[in-house]
Structure 1
């Protein structure tokens, strides 16, 4: 498998992928956009850039290559060094190198120029989304001339028809209507009385509750508490690890192995901790966490030289950082 393909895999997961002794690919998230003229909708994406000043090995590419090819770290370093040598030779002789789905490198006046590919999106959240153009909606407005002509209505003369008045009869109200009115009046008065009684009960309960609370408050204010043997004060120093740069000591399939590694690192004096399970189901243990990338790379270089050559740098924002408590 070509090293360019490993670089593409890492660009989905990391914000920075360094090719030792050549340069670093940097990604930056960009929101979705709408082109006002063409009405084209572009999904959110990772903008890809390149910095030829960042050439120091951070271990990400070589460590990934070592695991993917099942070779040693030293062999992976040699393959990457050979790959970089071929790149430089091609740039000097041809002046152009193209990485599929990544971009193209040009050599102009001894300076490397990078032109990213705009046809590939390395943002996992936008996987499967593509640019599309919305068609313009045409709206027609009718003018006064286009309005339908008003229909002429013919008036029909209406003739008044005389109505004969019937002889007035003495109107009588049935007795059952009086009974209904009486029942309604009794119901209304009963409802008013019930509401008055309910309100009176609520007011009484509220007043009694306020009295009880006042007595309890007075009792609490008058009470005194004496502790003959107070407990000694215990002071804890809390150290919170902050930052998005973590030096990984190892990833373990079994929880017990991760705990053993964590205990070993803490006995050596490292503020080590476990940061959970990654998407491969492995328990990750780190040496330390740093806010600055420069500090993290310096610490990684020291650990590689003195402790663990397979340690590598993880760039990730953790939602909840673990805390170490010291008495």
Structure 2
């Protein structure tokens, strides 16, 4: 994966992703809106901007890359620096596409200009929602319907007698037909109901036997023990330890509370490792980039 793809992934989870020594992509959630001119409704989304002054390495991007590529934090930082150098070189001649985030270019003052991809929506709550356009509604003019002229009593008296008798006979035949048709429909419905009841009874009484069932498979998976911890701090109060844990996890660390020490203080770790060599490499990076007070605990 390229650096742009990692940035794209993190923008779904965080409101700010900083690329060290380059700038930060910042999101701001906006609500649904309607364009009354084009009759288009837009779902809620994250509005994306770029801030060239956010260049400090907060560890979020590097930790995510290190976890995905299964490399050290230092190697991930080097990978970011190489990608940024390539971006700066390409920007002198052309625009740089950052996955589905948007494009970067230089203006006349040699400043980075960001154009967001308006089709991308990094708000997970709006997943599956799309723009909806509706045609405009035009008002229909009222139409007046003239009433049909009524037949006068004098004309009704002039209707021949044989026409009246024929009309009465037609009405009688119609009533008889409707009645017979209703009886037939009722008989068909009763027949279908009896057939359906019979099928249901057969299904309920049926049994299914599998002669050769598949054998069960037992998987024995041993979890690698992580006994080397990089300690970020020790706290007497539980809520202080939980706040520190949430802070480290927000920055992208695989942080955890590893219990109390011999003084009864709750210890919070940046991360835990299976080997001492891995833990020492991570400790050097954390002491240099984040906290000089971090130290290694082996259990």
Q: TM-score, normalised by structure 1?
A: 0.52
Q: Could you tell me whether the CA contact under 8 Å between 1:12 and 1:123 is conserved in 2?
A: yes
Q: Tell me which residue corresponds to 1:304.
A: 291
Q: Could you tell me whether the CA contact under 8 Å between 1:247 and 1:300 is conserved in 2?
A: no
Query: Which whole-Å CA distance do the structure 1 matches of 2:262 and 2:47 have between them?
Result: 38
Q: How far 1:243 sits from its partner (Å)?
A: 11
Q: Could you tell me whether the CA contact under 8 Å between 2:102 and 2:114 is conserved in 1?
A: yes
Query: Which whole-Å CA distance do the structure 2 matches of 1:50 and 1:244 have between them?
Result: 29
Q: Tell me which residue corresponds to 2:131.
A: 131
Q: Deviations over 1:214-262 (max 9, x none)?
A: xxxxxxxxxxxxxxxxxxxxxxx9977879971239547xxxxx55x24
CA gap 1:55/1:262 in 2 versus in 1, 3 angstroms: farther
Count of residues in Structure 1 that have an aligned counterpart in Structure 2: 195
The unaligned stretches of length 5 or more in structure 2 are 155-236, 270-285
Matched, 1:36 2:36: yes
When Rg is computed on C-alpha atoms for both structures, the one with the higher figure is 1
Q: Deviations over 1:138-196 (max 9, x none)?
A: 442324xx42235235257xxxxxxxxxxxxxxxxxxxxxxxxxxxxxxxxxxxxxxxx
Q: Tell me which residue corresponds to 2:97.
A: 98
Query: Which whole-Å CA distance do the structure 2 matches of 1:96 and 1:268 have between them?
Result: 53
Q: Tell me which residue corresponds to 2:247.
A: 246
Q: Tell me which residue corresponds to 1:289.
A: none
Q: Could you tell me whether the CA contact under 8 Å between 2:238 and 2:266 is conserved in 1?
A: no
CA gap 1:301/1:140 in 2 versus in 1, 3 angstroms: farther
Q: Could you tell me whether the CA contact under 8 Å between 2:100 and 2:120 is conserved in 1?
A: yes
Q: Tell me which residue corresponds to 2:182.
A: none
Q: Could you tell me whether the CA contact under 8 Å between 2:16 and 2:26 is conserved in 1?
A: yes
Alignment of 1:261-276 (within 5 A): 261-264=258-261, 272=268
Q: How far 1:26 sits from its partner (Å)?
A: 0.2
Q: How far 1:110 sits from its partner (Å)?
A: 2.0
Query: Which whole-Å CA distance do the structure 2 matches of 1:265 and 1:301 have between them?
Result: 28
Matched, 1:151 2:149: yes
Query: Which whole-Å CA distance do the structure 1 matches of 2:21 and 2:102 have between them?
Result: 19
Q: Tell me which residue corresponds to 2:160.
A: none
Q: Could you tell me whether the CA contact under 8 Å between 2:8 and 2:99 is conserved in 1?
A: no
Query: Which whole-Å CA distance do the structure 1 matches of 2:259 and 2:33 have between them?
Result: 45
Alignment of 1:1-327 (within 5 A): 1-91=1-91, 93-108=92-107, 109-143=109-143, 146-155=144-153, 246-248=247-249, 251=254, 258-259=256-257, 261-264=258-261, 272=268, 303-307=290-294
Query: Which whole-Å CA distance do the structure 2 matches of 1:244 and 1:263 have between them?
Result: 14
Query: Which whole-Å CA distance do the structure 1 matches of 2:145 and 2:292 have between them?
Result: 87
Q: How far 1:112 sits from its partner (Å)?
A: 0.9
Displaced runs of 4+ in structure 1, greater than 4 A? Answer: 237-245, 264-270, 299-303
